[in-house]
Amino acid sequence: MKTKVKTYHEMFTGLLSGIHFDELSKAASLVSKTCLADKQILTAGNGGSAALAIHFAAEFGKNVIGSNDKQPRVLPLCCNSTIITALGNDCGYDNIFSYQLRSLLNSGDLVILISPSGHSPNIIKAAEFAKSMGAAVLGMTGFNGGKLKELADITLHVPCNVNELIGDVHSFFCHAIIYACNRKAN
C-alpha cells in the first residue's frame, strides 16, 4: 500500500509541476472580472465533479469579497435534487443543467463546467447554451479534454487518464482561483 500511495503522490506532484500557470491566471482573471462586472457565476459537474462545483461555489461565495464589499453571486446547478430529478425525469438527464440555465443565465455571466472526460452530454449542452446566450465558459477537463475543451473560452486541462488525479488537480485549480480572487489574501 505504501508504494501505491507514494506512486500516487509522485504522479500528483508531477501533474502540479506541469500546470500552465498562464491559463490558470487567465481563468482567475475571468472569474474576477465577472464579479467586478456584478455578473453571476454558475457551476456544474457530475459525481465528484458536482461535489467540487458545489464546494467551489460555497468557498468562493463565502471567502471572496468584491471591490464594493459585495459578496459575489455564485450558484451551483448540481445541488438541488428536486430540480435535478424533475428535469432528469421529464426532460432527460442530458438537459438538467441547460434547462436551469434558461431561467438563470444572462449575457456576461460565467459558467464553470467540470468534466474529466469533457464528453458528458449534460455538460456539453450547458456549454453550448451558455455560449448561445453570450456567457463565458470556463472548462476543467482531463483525459483528452473532449468537446468541452473545444467549447470553453478557457480550459484548465489535466493531461491525465486517472480520475482521482484529475479531480485532485481540479480541486487545486478551484482553490487557486479563490485565493487569487480573494482581496483578503493579497
Contact 43, 77 (CB under 8 A): yes
Contact 139, 127 (CB under 8 A): yes
Tell me what pLDDT residue 182 has: 86
Sign of CA dihedral 138, 132, 144, 123: positive
Tell me what pLDDT residue 184 has: 58
For residue 42, give the 3-state DSSP assignment.
Answer: strand
Question: Residue 17 has which C-alpha cell?
Answer: 509541476
CA of residue 32 relative to chain centroid, distance:
14
**First and final C-alpha spacing in the chain:** 40
For residue 66, give the 3-state DSSP assignment.
Answer: coil
Beta-carbon-side half-sphere exposure of residue 186 (alpha carbons within 13 Å): 13
Which amino acid makes up residue 118?
A: G
Per-residue pLDDT of the chain (186 residues; tens, 9 = 90+): 999 999 999 999 999 999 999 999 999 999 999 998 999 999 999 999 999 999 999 999 888 876 566 778 999 999 999 999 999 999 999 999 999 999 999 999 999 999 999 999 999 999 999 999 999 999 999 999 999 999 999 999 999 999 999 999 999 999 999 999 986 555
Q: State the Cα–Cα distance between residues 127 and 149, nearest whole angstrom.
A: 10
Contact 142, 10 (CB under 8 A): no
